[in-house]
Chain A
């Protein structure tokens, strides 16, 4: 069935198609449409599910954890402050190995209040044991949420999964979406098995009690091991989905015109559409450019990225996030991957707090990056689009981040 849906409505349709049994959520802009639509589905009896209208995001994730421990397939969604407010429980969900799926509509953190997108909220949680997907458009949001259940519930994985998409540009932009019915999806996604455990009155157990240093470390090791296995599961889930329903996304990375490229632009999320258009323009101008879009941040596609990027002349990583004092998070990771290769990595921080990044900006970024590489002046990282006059007015002069 083809419907015109926003990214948020696509997410709600995906949760319905995945036969989610418990939804627990707290409203926050720009997530609200997801849970509004789900409450409609549930109240109209279109989903055999319970909706727990909690009093906070901390409780939203706690209720998801409880419901998952009782054997239900659960879903929630949040943004920015809601995500950070629930962060304690996100650690708990991962450590308890519960296959919860959560939509994260990325939004900049306050102060000052902002409702527009950047990825600082989501990427600040990259180290806690959740699988992290990131989508480019509403169709991918729909498909990825269903794939995420397949991966999270894989017995070799058993980790929760976040599926990210950008505030407004994806969350509130309507586009045609192919929607699968719950029956169609059931061919791909069977009912949740009681793994890794569910509350059982016949065989009582205690979960999560005090664990001494002689055993705690193995639990973290096993999470890390499962996360590394998740990569294969993600690729297979994408392949199988493609075989059944005709859409796939390249597993962990999507590549565009990469084969002969000397320059690779690396992006994530909605910027990728502009980046693809910028690649087309640059190609017409004679630049051998390609695009690598990260679809998954955890597990990090290290070997895939290294293989793709190691012999490029320029790898231009556009980060819609900033690790204050370190640079872009993806850029930092990719530089570490390529440290013994001939590739020059230019890390550009752009689009923070919803600042627009057009295809023209990306053309500019690539040309400037190339210029820096040719001059041998590659900085540790650089900000793109800063109003220098404002900075001079504020602190008396404009500083570039230190060059390498």
Chain B
């Protein structure tokens, strides 16, 4: 029977159940939705990350499209090779997708990402950002936010999160967007938009991780939603250079419409050591980011 939801999110599954993913895993959900959005003519390139495990161990695979595993720093370049060879062979209509974590994107993979973006290969690069090296046991990455506990920042990270979507946008690529799992239609629409454009496209998906962020596995979507509602995570797209807020973020330019950031931070054990002063500083970081967005929107 048809259902209005199926018009946006196809019923067909390309992510098969019974995977090694942790309960409540945002990477599993993000990949499942991505495959629904892009369909079977998609090849996924995965560097070292949680999804190296989530896909299932040899000789079984949870993924019903071609999937290539590759070394940590190598995903964007590998996808470059695939995209060029497929085009040369007349298969230019396939989606060549990188599915990488924040470590493989913001840190060890940044050079390769920048190179592929600058060269403009026909690739969709998706970073699922769980804000630390979760697969190796919650070590700090360049994408870990200010004051978050990780196993290598036991008293909280002292530096702010590296802003990868904007770094990619500075390469003047045709499409950059952010997404959150609580808003799957927004995420899927952005993936489809990316697929319809030629060139290098980048989507950055916030991926709240139950074991890594220290919250109950049932709260993945709730925390994703709070990240957006508090303005900590901003949903936007930069299409051919034009910046636009999307989804609920559109209504959050006015600070009074945003929930206090503390409501988001208090849901997660990784922020349990925060003082009121720390909370205030994070609120300030978030507010400053919105001031910047406001100025950008005003041109």
Contact = CB atoms under 8 A, between A and B. Distances in A.
Interface stretch (A27-35, A60-68, A127-135, A381-389): A60-68
Contacts of B22: none
B131 to A, nearest CB: 23
A388 B73 CA distance: 45
Contacts of B226: none
B182 interface: no
B58 A59 contact: no
A319 interface: no
Contacts of B91: 70
Interface in A66-86: 66-72, 74
B82 A199 contact: yes
Interface stretch (B37-45, B149-157, B272-280): B37-45
Contacts of B82: 66-67, 69-70, 199
Given A199-B68, A209-B52, A22 B115 contact: no
B81 A64 contact: yes
Interface stretch (B59-67, B137-145, B195-203, B249-257): B59-67
B169 to A, nearest CB: 18
B81 A66 contact: yes
A163 to B, nearest CB: 20
Contact of B74 (A89, A199, A201): A89
B78 A63 contact: yes
B57 interface: yes
B286 interface: no
Contact of B58 (A24, A71, A89, A209): A209
B86 interface: yes
A205 B65 CA distance: 7
Contact of B112 (A59, A64, A199, A200): A59
Given A62-B78, A199-B66, A206-B61, A21 B88 contact: yes
Interface stretch (A48-56, A141-149, A240-248): A48-56
A232 to B, nearest CB: 30
Nearest to B121: A52
A58 B81 contact: no
Nearest to B72: A88
B94 interface: yes
A396 interface: no
Contacts of A63: 77-78, 80-81, 84
B70 interface: yes
Q: Which of B40, B41, B80 has the largest count of A CB atoms less than 10 A from its CB?
A: B80
Given A54-B115, A67-B81, A59 B61 contact: no
Interface in B264-278: none
B262 to A, nearest CB: 39
Interface of B: 40-43, 45, 52-53, 55-59, 61, 63-71, 73-89, 91, 94, 111-112, 114-115, 118-119, 121
- In the A-B complex, the 6 residue pairs with the smallest Cβ-Cβ separation, listed nearest first, are A66-B81, A55-B115, A59-B77, A70-B85, A63-B81, A62-B77
30 contacts: A22-B81, A50-B84, A53-B119, A54-B115, A55-B112, A55-B118, A58-B77, A62-B70, A66-B70, A67-B82, A68-B85, A69-B68, A74-B81, A92-B71, A199-B66, A199-B86, A201-B40, A201-B65, A204-B65, A205-B61, A206-B55, A206-B66, A206-B67, A207-B67, A207-B68, A208-B70, A209-B52, A210-B52, A210-B57, A215-B58
